[in-house]
């Protein structure tokens, strides 16, 4: 395994731990995706829902564009290995 692969694995593990901690503490977790339009992200919530969000005009909060169906949310988790 190359040094770059080792660093990538460490980074991935850190993000997965952060996700777990945020959701367990009742906070949301942002999932950025190049497949979404610019300035849009997925926001995962402790109850398992995932919304597509964008930054609000005040730049201090988010505006929900739409809530994903359960099937779509599972597909996003699968895509990002968040099972």
Mean pLDDT per segment of 10 residues, for the chain of length 83 residues? 84 92 97 95 98 94 97 96 87
Phi and psi torsions of 65, nearest 5°:
-85, -45
The tokens for 33 are 């995706």
* pLDDT value at residue 78: 96
* pLDDT value at residue 57: 93
* pLDDT value at residue 83: 77
Tell the burial category of 43 from Cβ atoms under 10 Å away from its Cβ (0-12, 13-18, 19+). Answer: middle
DSSP 57: T
* pLDDT value at residue 79: 95
Beta carbons within 10 angstroms of residue 3's beta carbon: 7
What does the alpha-carbon distance between residue 70 and residue 38 come to, in Å, rounded to a whole number? 24
């Amino acid at each position: 395994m190359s040094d770059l692969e080792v660093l990538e694995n460490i980074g991935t593990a850190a993000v997965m731990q952060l996700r777990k901690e945020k959701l367990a503490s009742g906070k949301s977790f942002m999932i950025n995706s190049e497949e979404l339009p610019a300035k849009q992200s997925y926001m995962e919530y402790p109850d398992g829902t995932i919304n597509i969000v964008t930054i609000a005009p005040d730049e201090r909060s988010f505006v929900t564009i739409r809530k994903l169906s359960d099937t779509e949310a599972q597909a996003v988790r699968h895509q990002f290995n968040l099972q």
